[in-house]
Amino acid sequence: MIGQLVGPEIQELISLRDFSSLKEVVSDWPPADIADMIEILSENDQAILFRLLPKKLATEVYEHLELEVQKRLLRAMAQEQVAAILNEMAPDDRTALLEELPAPTVLQLLQQLSPAERMVSRSLLGYPENSVGRLMTPDFVAIHPEMNVDQVLRYIREHGKDSETLNVIYVIDDNGKLLDGIRAREFLLSPLDKKTSDVMHGNVIALNATDDQETAVDMFRKHGRYALPVIDSEGHLIGIVTIDDVLGVADEEATEDIQKFGGMEALEKPYLSTPLLEMVKKRAGWLVILFVGEMLTATAMGYFEKEIARAVVLALFVPLIISSGGNSGSQAATLIIRAMALAEITLADWWRVMRREIIAGLMLGITLGSIGFLRIVLWSVVFHLYGPHWPLVALAVGMSLIGVVMWGALAGSMLPFMLRRVGVDPATSSAPFVATLVDVTGLLIYFSVAFFILKGSLL
Amino acid sequence: MIGQLVGPEIQELISLRDFSSLKEVVSDWPPADIADMIEILSENDQAILFRLLPKKLATEVYEHLELEVQKRLLRAMAQEQVAAILNEMAPDDRTALLEELPAPTVLQLLQQLSPAERMVSRSLLGYPENSVGRLMTPDFVAIHPEMNVDQVLRYIREHGKDSETLNVIYVIDDNGKLLDGIRAREFLLSPLDKKTSDVMHGNVIALNATDDQETAVDMFRKHGRYALPVIDSEGHLIGIVTIDDVLGVADEEATEDIQKFGGMEALEKPYLSTPLLEMVKKRAGWLVILFVGEMLTATAMGYFEKEIARAVVLALFVPLIISSGGNSGSQAATLIIRAMALAEITLADWWRVMRREIIAGLMLGITLGSIGFLRIVLWSVVFHLYGPHWPLVALAVGMSLIGVVMWGALAGSMLPFMLRRVGVDPATSSAPFVATLVDVTGLLIYFSVAFFILKGSLL
């Protein structure tokens, strides 16, 4: 926003390479806006401007930069600055950076950390990829239940400086086991002499460090909290996850699902940062699988080669019919997969869904079938296409459309249930996958219906 | 989670209709878990159990319920309880409920509110649908810059009870204009005699009440805040938006995009809550448009009817070739549309994307083309299919695949740019839309290539 308002002025300072004025101008900006500006500079200028920023601001800006720019600056910075920034970064943001770097670089960078921060980073990196452990930060404030509000506020004032959030204060027992999470507002609003144990609710919700990150997203979605505590297998409080990290995971989740819908393996990085060959590989895999599946259409049509030779007119409607089945299938699959991802639909709903899709598919099929029927009738009457038996051709195409569209809706909606039943991510039954399935079966429906209606006349 | 653990016991109490024990058991649960349990009860039991909950808990549980259940309970509750719950609800949650109800019901419910709450709800409902105004709550704490930390903390203790969040405290001038937002932690960590003006940063980020909700999501994504202030056109602070509301909007956004990808209008409600006819309508619209577009394939094939009659073998590979183009196109379109939604790609990147997609499309085309070529060669040699000119047929299919797959990648990636350029949501160029486009043009490519290679021999 700010970048757009003062754009020309900034461009001027950049082209003049007047970095000290630039520094003065931007140092009042929100860190995310400075990061946006740095990202549009040339590699060389990025490093120069970044080095001019005061240390604390530099760290905040760094946390907002894209991974690629973070890596580039890491190489361009002097060792002391690298050390300063890495030590200042929030542990969860640091994990997000380190887990994307090659192992030798990680080891080298860990050496630059203070012993305490190094231990923290090592233990966070020890959790499996995509686990809550990789998302959490061990910087939180924990208190004991016998403290009163006044003591708690004073304790926060002394020990809260490094905490990722002070919005929730956690209560632990003498062994470090999590007892409760209390919103700071309770302390801000309660009389100073009230005891913590009297403010406690006891209905604490916690994540496990080994939980999948998607579990964390679901918990935040469900409970609407700002932060959730993370415990180990014995119930000890070992970290917290904040909702801003989770917004990123929810975005990633949706991106993965969308890319799988699109018929490919999910990319791990943004489109433009993914190396070309890696992207081609991710796309080629599914494209080849779908292609091999689609080869069955050639086989299926081969069975009807004689019928096609006798009635070439039948071949003309093949793309129309199979694509209608495919589109109907993609719609159904998309609806069901997304509803499953948001937990609106569970396995137990398959029968309700099936009934809905049979009716919906029938209605959609009748709609398209009627249009297809009328199209052939009209073109035949007006342009005299499709030969003398056009009424039968129109009937064959119309009836096939009803069957194929209904079958598409049914297959598209049931496939996600079957995949989930056998433990496969339903997003894998992406639209193209359903379309391929329906293409092959749709051909069989079409030629069978056509054979039945046209035998004795055209066939 | 809890629901699963004690499931059988709860089921027992429900079947015994022992609601008072049930109430006792659940009253320690997190509100979201009670809501989950209520949602699986029968309509009748829902109302009975809900009426047993203490007032404050009832409101919290009510805020977590699905919209459909909220509406049902609204009808089942006595008027006093409706009034109590509506008055207690957070204004933003109340807006979310009211905006889904028919106008007469809304007017009737507004009458149940206290005059103050009614004024709040009226003004929130006055903002356009999907605007930040509908998402915000006017419950915040605002202070003046000359107050010191001790005064601020005492002010919060007196006036903060109804605030949606105490995580950020807002500073306003004497006219109510927003000066800054300060995280509560700054007050918790600063010496008591420090003045607010000395804690201020001045780089405040604010939303406009008339901004689109997607703008709010982007701002939260970018700046990683927990809450953002909302101002009117003159800069007066009129409300706040918290990140938990935004997580819901981000989910909705992704759902809309995914449903558009799937080739339909986005549903406004969850799949199972959408009336069947409404859903069929939303699906039929695009299905008919795609069908009409796909009719061009019949026209295109009509042009080549003579060629097909002479070489029926060509018809056998039509589904294989056009679907490969369609799949390649969906992949490209999906990647670009999602990257645009996350602002990873802007209009200015079209040329970079085009170069990438030409190369990627060529590589993917060569892959599929080679497999297709080999498939025909193998089947010809082993099964003696495809006639005496099979080497030329194999060549025609292989070359067409290269062309069609490359064209698919190019069309799929460029269409979103064109749509966005003319101001249409790129998600509209859903996979099926691209597939239809590529189907028609793919047929032209195939038959032209085949004509060129086979003329003089098969044709």
B253-297 tens-digit pLDDT: 888 877 777 777 787 778 888 888 888 888 888 888 888 888 888
Residues of chain A in contact with residue B157, where contact means CB-CB under 8 angstroms, are: 188-189
Q: Which of B287, B315, B364 sits opposite A364 (nearest CB)?
A: B287
The answer to whether residues A179 and A204 touch, using CB atoms and an 8 Å cutoff, is yes
Residues of chain A in contact with residue B291, where contact means CB-CB under 8 angstroms, are: 320, 324, 327, 368, 371-372
Nearest residue on chain B to A65, alpha-carbon basis: B222
Min Cα–Cα distance to chain B from A377, Å: 14
Q: For the residues of B299-365, what is the DSSP string, one character each?
A: HHHHHTHHHHHH-THHHHTHHHHHHHHHHHHHHHHHHHHHHHHTTSS-GGGHHHHHHHHHHHHHHHH
Among candidate residues B249, B179, B178, B177, the one with its CA nearest the CA of residue B219 = B249
Instruction: Phi first, then psi: give them for residue A294, nearest 5 degrees.
Output: -65, -20
Residues of chain A in contact with residue B352, where contact means CB-CB under 8 angstroms, are: 272
Among candidate residues A99, A22, A6, A2, the one with its CA nearest the CA of residue B219 = A2
Structure token pair of residue A165 = 């959030």
Between CA A439 and CA A319 the distance in angstroms is 9
Nearest residue on chain B to A333, alpha-carbon basis: B262
CA end-to-end span of chain B? 68
Residue pointed to by tokens 């085949």: B450
**Pairing verdict, β B207-208 and A237-242:** unpaired
CATH of domain A142-243: 3.10.580.10
Residues of chain A in contact with residue B317, where contact means CB-CB under 8 angstroms, are: 298
Residue ranges of the domains in chain A? 2-126, 142-243, 271-454
- pLDDT by residue, tens only, chain A of 459 residues: 444 445 667 777 877 878 788 888 777 788 888 888 888 777 778 888 888 888 888 888 888 888 888 888 888 888 888 888 888 888 888 888 888 888 888 888 898 899 988 988 888 888 988 899 998 988 888 999 999 999 998 898 888 887 877 888 899 999 999 999 888 888 888 888 899 988 888 778 899 999 998 888 888 888 878 889 999 988 999 999 988 888 788 888 888 877 877 777 787 778 888 888 888 888 888 888 888 888 888 888 888 888 888 888 888 899 999 989 988 988 888 888 888 887 788 888 899 999 999 999 999 999 999 999 999 898 888 887 777 788 888 999 999 999 999 999 999 999 999 988 888 878 776 677 888 889 889 999 999 999 999 887 777
Superfamily holding A271-454: SLC41 divalent cation transporters, integral membrane domain (1.10.357.20)
**Pairing verdict, β B227-231 and A207-208:** unpaired
Nearest residue on chain A to B350, alpha-carbon basis: A272
* Fold (topology level) of B2-126: MgtE N-terminal fold (1.25.60)
Between CA B450 and CA B459 the distance in angstroms is 9
Residues A251, B246: C-beta atoms closer than 8 Å? no
Helix (H, G, I), strand (E, B) or coil at A356: helix
What lies within 8 Å, CB to CB, of A374 at 6+ separation is none
* Fold (topology level) of B142-242: CBS-domain (3.10.580)
Residues B287, A360: C-beta atoms closer than 8 Å? no
CA angle (B144, B150, B155) in 5-degree steps: 55
Residues B368, A291: C-beta atoms closer than 8 Å? yes
| Burial zone of B130 (CB within 10 Å; 0-12 exposed, 13-18 middle, 19+ buried) | middle
Q: What letter would DSSP give residue B272? A: G
Instruction: Phi first, then psi: give them for residue B223, nearest 5 degrees.
Output: -95, -10
| Burial zone of A4 (CB within 10 Å; 0-12 exposed, 13-18 middle, 19+ buried) | exposed
Interface test with A, best of B316, B346, B350, B444 (most A CBs within 10 A): B316
Structure token pair of residue B292 = 């009409």
Q: Letter for the amino acid at A231? A: I
Nearest residue on chain B to A368, alpha-carbon basis: B288
b/e string for B40-51 if b means 16 or more Cβ within 10 A?
A: ebeeebbbebbe
Q: Which of B165, B258, B280 sits opposite A258 (nearest CB)?
A: B258
Task: Work out the number of other CB atoms within 10 angstroms of the CB of residue A429.
Answer: 26
The whole model's pTM is what? 0.72
Instruction: Phi first, then psi: give them for residue A179, nearest 5 degrees.
Output: -105, -40
Min Cα–Cα distance to chain A from B351, Å: 12
